[in-house]
Amino acid sequence: MLRLTILKIAAILLIFLMSSVYADIGRYSDESMATGGGARSLALGSACMAQIDDAWALFWNPSGLMNIDRTEFGLMHSERFAGVVDYDAAAYATPLPDNTVWALGLIRLGVNGIPFTKLEDPDQPHSDLNRIEVDKYVNEAEYTFFIAKAGNYERWRWGIAPKLLFRHFGMDYRAYGLGVDVGAGGKVIPTLPVNVGITIRDLLGTVLAWEQTGRKEIIAPTVRAGIGGDFKLSSLEARIIPAVDMSYRFDLLGDKEAIALYYGLEYIVKETFALRAGNNDGQFTFGGGLNLKPVTIDYAFTGHDYLGSTHRISITTFWGKTEK
């Protein structure tokens, strides 16, 4: 109890220091990274901190990169909120001879064709004879570039992922930022098929600086932890994988919305076909996967009461011999 109190006080002091130096805590400034990469994780309600085991771990828990033993490359496309927002990602990861894994990744979130309007005669008030017309169309996009490395420490995995952020609204407003994510994972009891994982996103607070206005925003840290199992059903030639995650956002410190829960369930048949379902902080998700070796195709769907549905598809391939 004392440790939790000390940690909470330390978090408050950190956020106070960041806000006093940089002025603004940017709530939801990291939305482009909130749903990670890969369709499998989204179909599981984003509950993947303990179980992520492919190149997409770069965006969720970089320590999960240690689960791969061949070079992997993945592409993903997602249409969010009834197609209004495009969300795309790419990930590349490869093992090294020193028993580590390094990876590169890119996320793009964008809204295209946003209309800017004006009056036909800007010097006169709006009227039937002076109507509003479209002046131009602009695009808004957020890019996040990742580079990561993962390794082992005794029986635990670790991962670190520095990232570069770039935002633009039309050609007039641009912002840049630099941050780092860290993660760890492994088995608490080596003999049990149960894993745990934890990630701290934006570990030191990510500063996002707008070039034209001089405004600076802080993306406060988010801590996310999870537990998951992997149980074989030998008689059915199948596996069942349950997972539960919980996250805490320090930009919402003290607010009940700071805590979010995620849980999912995956059923894999003959290591070829997978069915998945989950709940992403109140939003139902489902999807499936097909492993064609060396190509895996995954699909996920999630709905929203007010903003429409989201469809996500990802394709991942691997090649080369084991280097670890």
Q: Can you tell me the distance from the alpha carbon of 324 to that of 322, in angstroms, rounded to the nearest whole number? A: 6
* pLDDT beyond 80 at 187: yes
> What is the DSSP secondary-structure string of 246-306?
EEEEGGGTTSGGGEEEEEEEEEEETTTEEEEEEEETTEEEEEEEEE-SSEEEEEEEE--TT
Mean pLDDT of 192-219: 88
Q: What is the pLDDT of residue 174?
A: 86
Q: What is the pLDDT of residue 27?
A: 54
Indicate the class that CATH gives domain 26-319: mainly beta
Q: Flag the least confident range among 8-22, 76-90, 252-266, 280-294.
A: 8-22
What lies within 8 Å, CB to CB, of 137 at 6+ separation is 113, 114, 115, 116
Q: What is the pLDDT of residue 155?
A: 87
Percentage of the chain beyond pLDDT 90 is 52
Q: What is the pLDDT of residue 19?
A: 45
Q: Can you tell me the distance from the alpha carbon of 93 to that of 277, in angstroms, rounded to the nearest whole number? A: 27
The larger pLDDT score, comparing residue 37 to residue 244, is at 244
For residue 322, give both structure tokens.
């084991």
Q: What confidence tier does 78 reach under pLDDT thresholds 50, 70, 90?
A: confident
Q: Among 194, 193, 192, 195, which Cα is nearest to 157's?
A: 195
What lies within 8 Å, CB to CB, of 127 at 6+ separation is none
Q: What is the pLDDT of residue 25?
A: 54
Count of beta carbons in the 10 Å neighbourhood of residue 71: 17
Beta-strand pair 216-219/101-119: unpaired
pLDDT digits (tens, 9 = 90+) for 106-134: 999 877 666 667 777 777 787 877 777 77
Q: What is the pLDDT of residue 170?
A: 65
Percentage of the chain beyond pLDDT 70 is 81
Domain ranges of the chain: 26-319
The larger pLDDT score, comparing residue 307 to residue 149, is at 149
* pLDDT beyond 60 at 219: yes
SS3 at position 67: helix
For residue 123, give both structure tokens.
């010097």
Q: What is the pLDDT of residue 82?
A: 58
| Most confident of the following: 158-172, 173-187, 244-258 | 173-187
